[in-house]
Structure 1
Amino acid sequence: MGLDALRDASETLDAAAANCENDELSGRLREQADALAGLADRDRGPDHGRLARHTHALHDIAADADDDDDVVPNAVEDALASVRSYRETVSGV
């Protein structure tokens, strides 16, 4: 699956941003989507440290979502699953 997993995560977050009514959260989702898309387009994928920073940012976004909004937490969980899938292909830690 390789870098396609990061593309999937990016697309998931971008779609969530488009459906998010909170402008601040939408911006943060797009920022992460853009960052993951950029990583997926590089010749060499990111290391565990970089992925951990994105994972942490995504957890923060999900925690900041409104309690009655399932779109953001569900999208973040889907994106995190894709990031975890990619991390399985990264050597090291």
Structure 2
Amino acid sequence: MARKELATASDRLESAAANTGNDDAGERLGELASQLEGLSTADRGPDHGRLARIQSALNDLQSGDGGDVAETIDEADDAINEYRSDLEGV
């Protein structure tokens, strides 16, 4: 089952990784993009906790090393929030 919002978030983070001027931030953004890509097609979707940890990492990157691509990170975060809005639980 494809989860469109998570795939969109992954695409945004790949773009951010490619466009950031910071190698460390680019590597971390790429790792997060890969995680979201895997979650978008996994047999079972992620829970709120897993997504919250990813969003926390995005927040840290956005306010630090990834500041030059903050808008793109915001777009990825918005896509994750959209997915979470339909997720049962917390």
TM-score class normalised by the smaller sequence: over 0.9
Amino acid paired to 2:82: S
Q: Which residue of 2 aligns with 1:14?
A: 14
Distance 1:56 1:66, change over 3 A: closer
| Residues 24-46 of structure 1: per-residue CA shift (max 9 Å, x gap) | 11001101100100111101110
Match of 1:86 among 74, 83, 86: 83
| Residues 9-67 of structure 1: per-residue CA shift (max 9 Å, x gap) | 00000011111121011001101100100111101110001011001000000011366
In structure 2, the gaps of 5 or more residues are none
Preserved CA contact (<8 Å) 2:6 2:40 = yes
Does residue 59 of structure 1 match 2:59?
A: yes
Q: What is the aligned-residue RMSD (CA, Å)?
A: 1.4
State the shift of 1:73 in Å: 0.7
**TM-score, with structure 2 as normaliser:** 0.92
Cα distance between partner residues in 2 of 1:21 and 1:80:
20
Q: Which runs of structure 1 show a deviation greater than 6 angstroms over 4 or more consecutive aligned residues? A: none
Cα distance between partner residues in 1 of 2:66 and 2:31:
19
**TM-score, with structure 1 as normaliser:** 0.89
Distance 1:66 1:57, change over 3 A: closer
Q: Which residue of 2 aligns with 1:38?
A: 38
